[in-house]
Chains A and B, each alone.
Chain A
Amino acid sequence: MAISLEVNGERVDAQVLPRLNLADFLREQLQLTGTHVGCEHGVCGACTVRVNGEIVRSCLMLAVQTHGASVQTIEGLSDSGEVADLQAAFRDRNALQCGFCTPGMLMAAQDLLKQQAEPDREQIREHLSGNYCRCTGYQAIIDAVETTARARGRGTA
């Protein structure tokens, strides 16, 4: 099937099989390998991307469903600088080890920070509770998101 969509601000026209999921489309056809595949059934959050402004599990969405949509991946968020402060906080706090969950984690964290000015630690833990990280034990991630939230709060105050 022919689909036409916008990915990280670029127009993409592609032929896809109806069964192809968005994660495989991004990784294999567009070579956007920053979107990772961990569980392939919507539990681990590694494949989290943004479709029309909402975060979704790209392993649970078909590529054909994104026809006419705007998709943003970690590559796009990085290049636009939208999450530069969050990434800096992750680096300073060592909030990643193997890094495999990190793109999805950044996606989910940025989603929270857009919705809520200064979430507390419990709210951060809750919002990220669909993103599995085996390395860090989560505390450093919570710290980094909290630090970013406070910095942004100060910046806009």
Chain B
Amino acid sequence: MTITSSNPEILSELDRPNSYIGKSVPRPNLERLMQGRGLYVSDMELPRMGHVVFLRSPHAHARIAGIDAAAARSMPGVIAVVTGKELAAVITPWVGVLSHLKGLKSAPQHALAIDRVCWQGEAVAAIVATSRAVAEDAAEIVRVDYEELEAVTDMRTALDPATPVIHPALGDNLAFERNLDAGEVDAAFAGSDAVVEADFIFGRHTGVTLEPRSVVADWNAAEARLTIYQGTQAPHMVQNIAALHLGLEESQVRVVCKDVGGSFGIKVHIYADEMATYALSKLLRRPIKFVADRVESFNTDIHARDHRCWGRIGVKRDGSITAFEIDDLTGIGPYSMYPRTSAIEANQVVNLVGGPYVTRNYRARARVVFQNKNVMCQYRAVGHPIACSVTEGLVDLAAAKIGMDPVEIRRRNLIADNAYPCASPSGLRFELLSHHAAINKLMTMMDYDALRSEQATLRSNGIYRGIGIASFIEVTNPSAAFYGVGGAKISSQDGVAIRLDAQGSVICQTSITEQGQGSESLTAQIVGSVLGVSMERVRVILGDTDNTPYGGGTWASRGAGIGGEAALQAAKILRRNILDVAAAILQSSPAELDIADNAIVNAADGASRMELRELARIVYFRPDTLPPGVQPELMATRHFVPREYPFAFTNGVQASWLEVDTDTGFVRLLKHWVVEDCGTLINPQLVDEQIRGGVVQGLGAALFEKCVYDERGQLTNANMADYLVPMSGEMPDIDVGHVVSPTSETELGAKGAGEAGTAGAAAAVANAVNDALRPFGAVITEIPLTPQIILTALGRI
């Protein structure tokens, strides 16, 4: 199997007869998960382990007048009840800001609230007991006296002079503001034949990982060392932060990440209750386990996407887009999250709006405000769904205004496939994208013209179906430009160490992590391909700061592109080292030899010369038989970080085909298509499944998911019965196609694919609903598209 590439000659290491690159091989170690023999943090038990339950504030904003835990402390089985003040003796507070987000401010946040709570669900005391049930019993009899304060809940009035300032020391409730003005926006609008504007409203939603956040922290006082078992995407980040705030060296903290029950960005942050769990272990000198329950998950897992974004677009009669302008407002809760901050999503919205299109005229303002709700931060496809929904919603509105087909207006404005490299008005640099190839492929896959005629026929029968298109760009393979330049100790490089063991198998340690995306598989595929070793003989170790190279982990669609390249480069070195030894043993030269099928072979005719197993035996047990001066190095380590481009942008386009019941307001999803360009496909099946899963998360946002707060800051649907998620019955089949434009920044050529699905799904659905409702003149720019919203737009209720 060969891979598609514009420059195949540099890929010779991978383009081999037994290469796994480009093949849909099954992921290793799935049996463990399918047989119920995985090891998630929630499964772990350690000797002397205590279970912590957090007592959480029922108020959105209140002063803590007093805590009476005497009765709870005396309950059998209770190990300790710890308040914020007491815990502050072992852990310092933090402030979630980064220097490259100029002006971003936040207040010090403590592991447990001290004196004041700022959202419903903030922890005020930790109850540690011999079992979780006992701790929950004890939590019920801890008395907290609250003096309720006025809650700031509506982001639209958060900056009004009459609104209380949540953190008086900050002066106001504005966490961050960014303004951008590129090109000649006013002149462009003035010269337009039509200008359309709309308010886009996005429901605050959350990740709903099936396994809640879980931590076991084990402070060994005798070793002065803390081991943290946690389902995290970024073990080295956790190591750094835990050490920093507990007054330890990084070498005193080990982070171990076994199986993780879903992450999606939820598990890439540092949460106060997790910090409290680390601190409790140190304070109480024993292992402490915290597993959030579902109500806690809804109240404390980061929320996302609570944006209201006004936008307008100018267009000429010939369909050319003249300008975009947006004004985005988002409420992030009372603190900017740590350490990645809560300004990134709004910043991404500013970066990404209009991104697929050629117009140079773009003005944007984004404001990020504090409020007394749960914290918001980065969740899968950070900012992309907002930017895509606003951009693609506006493009459709413009098309409707001038009477042009939505596909045609996109074709006239998408950046040409031969225009690269180029940059966006917001300064994003594009190495190589393929918008036109992608939309052309999409048209074929969905048979657009046939669907349009089917739509027309059905419409005359009173059946309202719609087609929605959404082009998008996606940030992947982030360099230090994402976090490092702002002062965050979040590595943007990754490392891979590979060694040949004494029986000729390969052990590979990588700093990227696995939460089901296929990190282990892609690493084994790359290493096996480069080395000429079968995948079954490659064992991949990840998720352990003691036993992997230092690196960023798995987030922002970086695992394959960055960790994969490190694996490729490390495997190349090991291959060379193996061939050096083989040449010495076989009295040949490295150039005359190759490795294939777990054996040293002649490069010329492929004839087998020596099994790798035999080579390893000689190296490890009979080095005395090697020629003098030969010192084999059967272990190699390489690191990689992108340096030329801050981000490897990808692109794609999605389409939704759905039916709206205009009597009930229900939407039935009939089909969904995605064409995506993530460069080299290492394992097409895994890429497709990342995209499908991402699409369905976007479909949830489009139709169902919303954290409903009342005016007092109470989350009213914090359970899975009232907060609706996509289930199998409502989801459509999703066809996925690819265009392949490898990045030339790496030999592998892979870009990320983890967030493409989520980036454009909601925009495609919203455009399809509006397309279906066009005969009624209804336009909806709010998600989730609940029956209530649709019937209201139709004037039925």
Contacts and interface: CB of A to CB of B under 8 A. Distances in A.
A33 B725 CA distance: 25
B729 A129 contact: yes
B729 A78 contact: no
Contacts of A131: 727-728
Contacts of B721: 41, 43
B229 to A, nearest CB: 14
Contact of A75 (B35, B210, B259, B294): B35
Interface stretch (B26-34, B558-566, B709-717): B26-34
A128 B727 CA distance: 8
Nearest to B38: A99
B169 to A, nearest CB: 39
Contacts of A52: none
Contacts, number: 173
B509 interface: no
A5 interface: no
A41 B294 contact: yes
B160 interface: no
Contacts of A97: 515-518, 689, 693
Contacts of A96: 30, 33-34, 516
Contacts of A134: 207-210, 262, 264, 693, 697, 725
B211 A91 contact: no
B734 interface: yes
Contacts of A125: 728-729, 731
27 contacts: A32-B36, A34-B35, A36-B210, A36-B261, A37-B42, A40-B293, A44-B210, A73-B36, A75-B36, A78-B36, A91-B31, A96-B33, A97-B518, A98-B209, A99-B32, A100-B210, A124-B728, A131-B727, A132-B208, A132-B720, A132-B725, A136-B692, A136-B693, A136-B696, A137-B731, A138-B726, A138-B728
Interface of B: 24, 26-27, 30-40, 42-43, 133, 207-212, 259-264, 293-294, 515-518, 685-686, 689, 692-697, 719-721, 725-731, 733-734, 757
B731 A87 contact: no
A37 B132 CA distance: 14
A41 B717 CA distance: 14
A78 B725 CA distance: 29
A138 B210 CA distance: 14
Given A38-B210, A90-B34, A98 B260 contact: yes
A39 B259 contact: no
Max chain B Cβ within 10 angstroms of own Cβ: one of A36, A74, A100, A141 = A100
Interface centre among B689, B697, B728, B730, by most chain A C-beta atoms within 10 angstroms, is B728
Contact of B40 (A32, A100, A126, A141): A100
Given A137-B731, A138-B696, A142-B728, A98 B36 contact: no
B20 to A, nearest CB: 15
Interface string A47-77: 0000000000000000000000000011100
A7 interface: no
B727 A98 contact: no
Contacts of A128: 728-729
Contact of B36 (A34, A90, A91): A34
B211 A98 contact: yes
Contact of B729 (A34, A46, A102, A126): A126
Contacts of A149: none
Contacts of B693: 97, 134-137
A128 B133 CA distance: 31
Given A38-B210, A44-B720, A91 B34 contact: yes
B36 A100 contact: no
Contact of B34 (A17, A33, A35, A99): A99
A91 to B, nearest CB: 5
B211 A38 contact: yes
A47 to B, nearest CB: 11
B33 A41 contact: no
Interface in A1-30: 17, 19, 27
A38 B34 contact: no
Contacts of A102: 33-34
B692 A137 contact: yes
Contacts of A137: 689, 692-696, 726, 731, 734, 757
Interface residues of A, number: 54
Contacts of A129: 727-730
A39 B719 contact: yes
A92 to B, nearest CB: 6
A100 B728 contact: no
Interface in A85-111: 87, 90-94, 96-103, 106
A135 B728 contact: no
Contacts of B34: 74, 78, 87, 90-91, 96, 99, 102-103, 106
Given A39-B294, A91-B34, A98 B262 contact: yes
A98 B31 contact: no
A38 B726 CA distance: 15
Nearest to B266: A134
A141 B695 CA distance: 15
A27 to B, nearest CB: 7
Contact of A135 (B26, B31, B516, B729): B516
Nearest to A38: B210
Top 7 closest pairs, chain A to chain B, by CB: A34-B36, A99-B33, A97-B516, A100-B261, A137-B696, A129-B729, A98-B516
Given A41-B720, A43-B720, 12 more contacts: A33-B43, A41-B294, A41-B719, A94-B686, A96-B30, A98-B211, A99-B32, A121-B733, A125-B728, A132-B727, A135-B262, A136-B692
A117 B601 CA distance: 51
Contacts of B262: 98, 100, 134-135
Contact of A140 (B33, B515, B689): B689
A49 to B, nearest CB: 10
A116 to B, nearest CB: 16
Contacts of A35: 36
A121 B733 CA distance: 10
B301 to A, nearest CB: 12
A130 interface: yes
Nearest to B698: A137
Contacts of A124: 728
A74 B31 contact: no
Contacts of B209: 98, 134
Contacts of B40: 33, 36, 100
Contacts of B31: 87, 91
B296 to A, nearest CB: 11
A130 B720 CA distance: 11
Contacts of B33: 96, 98-99, 102
Nearest to A134: B262
Nearest to A76: B36
A39 B720 contact: yes
A55 B486 CA distance: 52
A124 B686 CA distance: 23
A110 to B, nearest CB: 12
B260 A74 contact: no
A140 B259 CA distance: 21
Contact of A46 (B210, B725, B727): B210
Nearest to A75: B36
